[in-house]
A = this chain, B = another copy of it.
Amino acid sequence: MPNRMIYEFGNHTDGDATMRALLGGKGANLAEMSRIGLPVPPGFTITTEMCLDYYRAGKRIQPKLKAAIRTAIQHVEEQLNRKFNDATHPLLFSVRSGARESMPGMMDTILNLGLNDKTVEGFAKVTRNPRFAYDCYRRLIQMYGDVVMGIGSEEEEDPFDKILSKIKTAKGVRFDTELDAEDLKKVIAQFKELIRKEKKCDFPQDVFAQLEGAIGAVFGSWYNERAILYRHKYNIPSDWGTAVNIQSMVFGNFGDTSATGVAFTRNPANGTNEFYGEYLINAQGEDVVAGIRTPHPIAQLAKEMPEAYASLLKIRKTLEEHFKDMQDFEFTVENHHLFMLQTRNGKRTGLAAIRIALDMLQEKLIDQKTALLRIPAESIATLLVPIFDAKGKKSATCIAKGLPAGPGAACGKVVFTADQAEALAKKGEKVILCRAETSPEDLRGMLVSEGILTSRGGVSSHAALVARQMGKVCVCGVGNLTIQYASKMMTNGTVTLYEGDSISIDGSTGEVFQGAIATAPSEVMQVLNGTMDAKKSDTYRMFHQIMQWSDRYRKLGIRANADTPEQAKTALQLGAEGIGLCRTEHMFFKGHRIDAVREMILADKEAARRKALKKLLPLQQEDFTEIFKAMKGYPVIIRLLDPPLHEFLPHEEGAIRELSKVTGLSVEEIQRRSSALSEQNPMLGHRGCRLGISYPEITEMQATAIFQAAADVIQSGTKVSLEIMIPLVGFVKELEHQVHCIQKIGKKVCEERKLKIPYQIGTMIENPRATVRAAELAKVADFFSFGTNDLTQLTLGISRDDMGKFFRAYTEQEIFTVNPFASIDVDGVGQLVQIAVRHARKIKPKMELGICGEHGGDPRSVEFFHKVGLNYVSCSPNRIPIVRLASAQAALKKA
C-alpha cells in the first residue's frame, strides 16, 4: 500500500512494528500490538510523510487528507458502534504525536476530542456519570486551549490551572476529584470565557474543526523549541517528521474502577529483572507522567485490581517475548477492562542497558552480538564514574530518601530553577537541580546539572525518564522534602537547604545527604588498581564481560592519547594497546621545564637557542624514559613539537617579570620578542613541522632525547616500540627534511650507544593538502595518523576557539546537526580522510593508519573509522572502554 496517508489499527490493522519510519514508533507499535492480540482501542495513524506534506503546503492540511480522515473515523465508528459528533452516544478520540524515535514529553497530545456543549450531555447520559463527562470536557478545553490555541506562557502559572485552583479553594477542596459536575460546569464556563478573552474567538464546537486543529498542533509541535533542542541533543534529523495517532478514547478517569499507569518490563534505572511501574486510580494518562499526584508502585495494583494486574503480568511476558527487549508501556483500566495505549523499547540508564543486555542474553532472549549492539557504547562510562567514598557516606547526614531513578553519585550546589542551573554551570559550578516536579521547560537546566532531585513524581515521572536518558543521577519523589521556590529553600522540617548550599544524592539508593561527600574511584577502577577483589564487584563482572566480548569482535586497534607516565598506566589498565599520540609539549609545564622552553623561544640566535635546548634535553629525555617504561614494549607514537612557540610565553606582568629574572632579558625585550612572535592566525602560522624546519636544532634535540631515552630503556631490558610523528605536514619535502634530520640523530645515538633502536617515522595527516598528497607522503612515511581536530578546522575553515560566535545560529538553522568537533563531519572531513586512505593504501597496502583527534573517543566517529579501514583509533585514556565496545559494534554492524 504505497503512498497511503492513513494506516488503521483495530479489527483491521494495516501497519506493523517495522513501519516506524512511516507511522512513528507509537503508531507502528499500536499496530503491532493489535496484530498480536493485545487489547488496543481502535484508531488510525496519519503518516510522517503527511507531516512533511503539511509543511510543504505552508502548514495546511490538504483536502485529500481530510477526506481520508473521515473515512478512517467511519471505520472506527463501525467497530465501536458509536459515532463521532453523535449527541447521544459520542465517540471520543485522543490525538497524539509519534516520531520515528520516541521524544518523550517533547510534543503535544490532546485527549477527549469530540466533546462539545451538545455531545457532553449525551456523554454524561450514556456514561451515567455527569461528573466524569464534564471532567473530560474541561480537560479537553484546557488541553486544546493550551496546545492548539496557545494560551498561557512558560513563565507564568497556567491560567486554566489558576481558574481550577480558585474554584477548588472557593469550595475548600484539595483535589480535582473532589469537584462535582456542577463545579466542573462552572470551570468549563470560565475556561470558555478565558479563551474568548484571550483569543477573541470561541472554543470550537465543530468536532471536525477540533480534530483538524489538534492534528495541526501535533504537526506544528515538531518544530517547537523543545523538540528542536531535543533533536539536536539526540541527532534526530528534522526531516523525519512526526506521525499523528488518532485513537478512540478509553477512560482511566471513569471512577474508582478505573486507573491509568505506566510500566516497564524491567527496572529501567538499574536493569533488574523485575516488573516496574506505577499507576493512578481514576486518572488520565498524562497525570502519571506529569508527576502531579505521586502514583502508587505497580505491585500495589495486585491488591487493588487483581484481575487487571494478572493481565498486566501476562502482557509483560508477551511483550518481552515478542519484542525481545525491555518495554515501556502505557495502560488504562476502564471499568475493570485493561487497554494498552502504547508500548516501546524502554529508555534506560547506561547501567540498566548493560544489565538488561547481559541478562537477556543469559535468558536466551537475544544472542551475544545483539547483546553487544544493545549497549550504547557511551553507557560504559556509567561503570567508570566515581562513587561515593564509603567512609564519607557513613559520616554524612542523610536528610531524606526518595526513589532511586538514575543511578550514580552526584554532589553540587542546590538550585531550584533551570535559569539558575545554567547560570552557575556557566561559571563552572556543579549543581543539583531540585524541583517539586520537572516539565519539558526544565530540560536545559537538567542538561547542565550533575543530578536531579524531585519532591513529587514517581520513577516514570518526566524527571526520572529524562534523567535516565541523559545518564544523569536522579532521585525522585523525595516526599519528606518540601521545596519552596519563592524563598529558594527546601526542608525536611529539621534541616533546611538554601540555594547554593551543597548537597549529595545517591541515585542508586535514593539517599539525599547534606553537604558534599567525597568520591572514590568506580568499582571497576578499584579492581583494576588492585584495591578491590574482582569477585566482589558485579559492576566489574559486567565491565569485564563486555570488554572481553568487544575485543573478540572489534577490528580496530585501540591506543591512547597520553602525555605522561600516569596517563600511560591508566590507558594500559583500561585496555590500550599503545600510545597513539604523546604530545611532547604537554610536559613542558612540569617542574622548571618551562623556563628552559621560554629561554629557547626568546633566543634570537641559533647559538642561544641551542644553549637553551641543551638544558631541555635531559628533561625531555627523562619524560620519554618514563613513558617507554610504563608502556612495556607497546607502541608509542611521540609527536614532535607542534604548537606555535608564542603559546608558551607568559602574558601577565608578574610572570613576565619572573621570566625576566630567570633569563636576564629585560621586561621590554621579552615583550618585544613576544609581540614579534605573535600571529594573525596562529592556527595557520609558524607551528608543526614548520618549527623543526626553521629551527632544525629543535628537532635534533627532541630526536636526541627520544633516541637516548629509548636506548636507556632497551639497555635496562625493556622493549621499546618507537614511532616518531611529524606534525602538520603538507608537502613531501617537509617530511623528507624532518625524516632526514631524525635519521641522522638516530644513527648517531645508535652508534654511540652501540645498539639498534628499531623505529618508524610517520606523519600526522591534518591539513587538507596532506590528504590529497597522501600517495606521495606514503612513499616517505612509515605510518599516518589523522589529526582530525585540525583537519576539521581547516576543511571547514572554522576555528574551534571562535566558533562560539555563530555556533548557536548554526545549530538553530540545523546547518550543524552535530558539533563537527565532537563527531566527525563524515561528508566533508570524512571524504578527505577516505581520499587519503585510498591513496596511501595504493602505495603501501599494509601501511599503519590511525587517528588521534578528539573524534577517536566518539562512537559515531569510531564507526566511520572502522568503515574506512583504519588500523587503530587513539583517544583519551578514560574513553578507551567506550571505544572498545564502539569498535566491536562497528564491526558487528558492518557484518
**What are 17 A-B contacts with C-beta separation under 8 Å?**
A679-B802, A680-B683, A680-B802, A681-B802, A682-B802, A683-B683, A683-B797, A686-B805, A688-B797, A693-B809, A728-B797, A730-B798, A769-B825, A769-B829, A772-B828, A773-B828, A794-B795
Give the residues from 645 to 676 in chain A that come closer than 8 angstroms, CB to CB, to chain B.
Answer: none
Find out whether the CB atom of A827 lies under 8 angstroms from the CB atom of B773.
yes
Q: How far is the CB of A603 from chain B (nearest CB, A)?
A: 15
Is residue A810 contacting chain B, with contact meaning CB distance below 8 A?
Answer: yes
A767: B residues at CB distance < 8 A: 795-797
Give the residues from 690 to 739 in chain A that come closer than 8 angstroms, CB to CB, to chain B.
Answer: 690, 693-694, 728, 730-731, 733-734, 737
A798: B residues at CB distance < 8 A: 684, 730
Is residue A806 contacting chain B, with contact meaning CB distance below 8 A?
Answer: yes
Question: Which of these, B684, B731, B809, contacts A799 with CB under 8 Å?
Answer: B684
A772: B residues at CB distance < 8 A: 827-828, 831-832
Beyond A693-B815, A767-B796, whether A683 also contacts B686 by CB under 8 A is: no
Is residue A813 contacting chain B, with contact meaning CB distance below 8 A?
Answer: yes
A731: B residues at CB distance < 8 A: 815-816, 828
- In the complex, besides A681-B681, A731-B828, A768-B794, 8 extra interface pairs with C-beta distance below 8 angstroms are A680-B801, A686-B805, A690-B806, A731-B816, A734-B815, A768-B828, A769-B825, A773-B831
Beyond A733-B813, A737-B813, whether A799 also contacts B769 by CB under 8 A is: no
Is residue A685 contacting chain B, with contact meaning CB distance below 8 A?
Answer: yes
Beyond A693-B806, A737-B815, A805-B694, whether A769 also contacts B790 by CB under 8 A is: no
Residue of A685, A737, A810, A827 with most partner-chain B CB within 10 A? A685
Question: Which of these, B681, B796, B813, contacts A769 with CB under 8 Å?
Answer: B796
Beyond A730-B828, A734-B815, A802-B684, whether A769 also contacts B793 by CB under 8 A is: no
A682 to B733, CA, bound (A): 29
Binary interface encoding of chain A residues 811-831 relative to chain B, with 1 for a CB under 8 A from any of its CBs, else 0: 001111000000001011101
A831: B residues at CB distance < 8 A: 772-773
Q: How far is the CB of A604 from chain B (nearest CB, A)?
A: 14
Q: Which residue of B lies closest to A645 (CB)?
A: B805
A730: B residues at CB distance < 8 A: 795-798, 828
A832 to B836, CA, bound (A): 13
Find out whether the CB atom of A802 lies under 8 angstroms from the CB atom of B769.
no
Q: How far is the CB of A153 from chain B (nearest CB, A)?
A: 22
A802: B residues at CB distance < 8 A: 679-682, 684-686
**A: which residues have CB within 8 A of B?**
679-686, 688, 690, 693-694, 728, 730-731, 733-734, 737, 766-769, 772-773, 790, 793-799, 801-802, 805-806, 809-810, 813-816, 825, 827-829, 831-832
Beyond A767-B795, A769-B829, A773-B827, whether A805 also contacts B680 by CB under 8 A is: no
A685 to B806, CA, bound (A): 9
Q: How far is the CB of A736 from chain B (nearest CB, A)?
A: 9
A797: B residues at CB distance < 8 A: 683-684, 688, 728, 730, 766-769, 790, 794
A694: B residues at CB distance < 8 A: 805-806, 809
Q: How far is the CB of A684 from chain B (nearest CB, A)?
A: 4
Copies in the complex: 2
A685 to B730, CA, bound (A): 22
A795 to B801, CA, bound (A): 19
A737: B residues at CB distance < 8 A: 813, 815
Find out whether the CB atom of B813 lies under 8 angstroms from the CB atom of A681.
no
Find out whether the CB atom of B799 lies under 8 angstroms from the CB atom of A680.
yes
Beyond A684-B799, A799-B680, whether A769 also contacts B828 by CB under 8 A is: yes
A682 to B797, CA, bound (A): 10
Beyond A693-B810, A693-B813, A813-B733, whether A685 also contacts B805 by CB under 8 A is: yes
A813: B residues at CB distance < 8 A: 693, 733, 737
Q: How far is the CB of A891 from chain B (nearest CB, A)?
A: 27
A795: B residues at CB distance < 8 A: 730, 767-769, 794
A269 to B875, CA, bound (A): 66
A809: B residues at CB distance < 8 A: 690, 693-694
Q: How far is the CB of A59 from chain B (nearest CB, A)?
A: 17
A768: B residues at CB distance < 8 A: 768, 794-795, 797, 828, 832
A801: B residues at CB distance < 8 A: 679-681
A440 to B105, CA, bound (A): 81
A816 to B795, CA, bound (A): 22
Q: How far is the CB of A717 from chain B (nearest CB, A)?
A: 38
Q: How far is the CB of A703 from chain B (nearest CB, A)?
A: 18
A805: B residues at CB distance < 8 A: 679, 685-686, 690, 694
Find out whether the CB atom of B682 lies under 8 angstroms from the CB atom of A680.
yes
Q: Which residue of B lies closest to A831 (CB)?
A: B772
A815 to B810, CA, bound (A): 38
A815: B residues at CB distance < 8 A: 693, 731, 733-734, 737
Q: How far is the CB of A419 from chain B (nearest CB, A)?
A: 21
A794 to B801, CA, bound (A): 16
A793: B residues at CB distance < 8 A: 684
A766: B residues at CB distance < 8 A: 797
Q: How far is the CB of A679 from chain B (nearest CB, A)?
A: 4
A825 to B767, CA, bound (A): 14
A684 to B766, CA, bound (A): 16
